[in-house]
Amino acid sequence: MYICICNAVTERQVRACVDSGAATLDDLQYELGVASCCGRCAESACSYLPGGACHTVATVALPAGAASEILPASAAQQAA
Ligand code: FES
């Protein structure tokens, strides 16, 4: 699905850009050109940013004891 018609920017591109660290509309504008023409896509593009309505964060349920193998000791203690 296109997010920005003016610049042919897709939802997939926006998600990939956010996953690569884009955190502001300026980042998306710089990397993809989104919202740099008519601006109608700005609100939609922002919804993919951290904290936005379309932003997703993957969560993984770890089996008991697995955290100590993955996380630093201090974080593993908090996870237990
Ligand atoms: S639709 Fe994105 S700048 Fe026009």
Q: Which of 25, 41, 44, 46 to mutate to test the pocket of ligand 1 (most atoms within 8 A of CB)?
A: 41
* 55-72 tens-digit pLDDT: 876 677 878 777 666 555
Domain-located, residue 18: yes
**Domain limits for position 30:** 2-47
Alpha carbon of 47 to those of 26, 28, 39, 59: distances in Å?
Answer: 14, 12, 14, 19
Number of domains observed in the structure of the chain: 1
> 57: CA distance to ligand 1 center in Å?
26
**CA–CA gap between residue 42 and residue 22 (Å, rounded):** 14
Ligand 1 shell residues, CB under 6 Å: 4-7, 34-41
Domain-located, residue 37: yes
Domain-located, residue 26: yes
> 26: CA distance to ligand 1 center in Å?
14
Q: What is the CATH number of the domain that holds 40?
A: 1.10.10.1100
Domain-located, residue 77: no
* 15-45 tens-digit pLDDT: 999 999 999 999 999 999 999 999 999 999 9
